[in-house]
């Protein structure tokens, strides 16, 4: 498993996060080839790191409601 130094990462809340009750996902931009993601309620906790291509596919699917509960 590869580790990334995210100690200087600047985080922003995802525009798709729920801003009303604190269920927010934060992402950090400007990391070539990867997209770090974390829970805003636990900024000192772990971050998940996704391949940029996988994250782009996920965001595209969310935009067209590609995920439904069933």
Q: What pLDDT is recorded for position 2?
A: 85
The whole-model pTM stands at 0.78
What pLDDT digit, counting tens, does each position of 40-58 carry?
889 899 999 999 999 999 8
What count of other Cβ atoms lies within 10 Å of the Cβ of residue 36? 18
Cα separation, 33 vs 69, in Å, equals 30
Give the chain's end-to-end CA distance (angstroms, integer).
33
- Look over the chain and give the mean of its residue pLDDT values, rounded to a whole number: 85
Q: What pLDDT is recorded for position 64?
A: 86
At 37 the three-state DSSP class reads strand
Handedness of CA 56, 16, 21, 11 (dihedral sign): positive
What pLDDT digit, counting tens, does each position of 6-37 carry?
999 999 987 766 666 667 889 999 999 999 99
């Amino acid at each position: 498993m590869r580790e990334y130094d995210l100690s200087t990462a600047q985080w922003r809340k995802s525009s798709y996060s729920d801003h009303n009750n604190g269920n927010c996902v934060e992402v950090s931009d400007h990391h070539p080839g990867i997209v770090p993601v974390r829970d805003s309620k636990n900024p000192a906790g772990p971050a998940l790191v996704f391949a940029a291509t996988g994250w782009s596919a996920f965001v595209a699917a969310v935009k067209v409601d590609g995920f439904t509960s069933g």
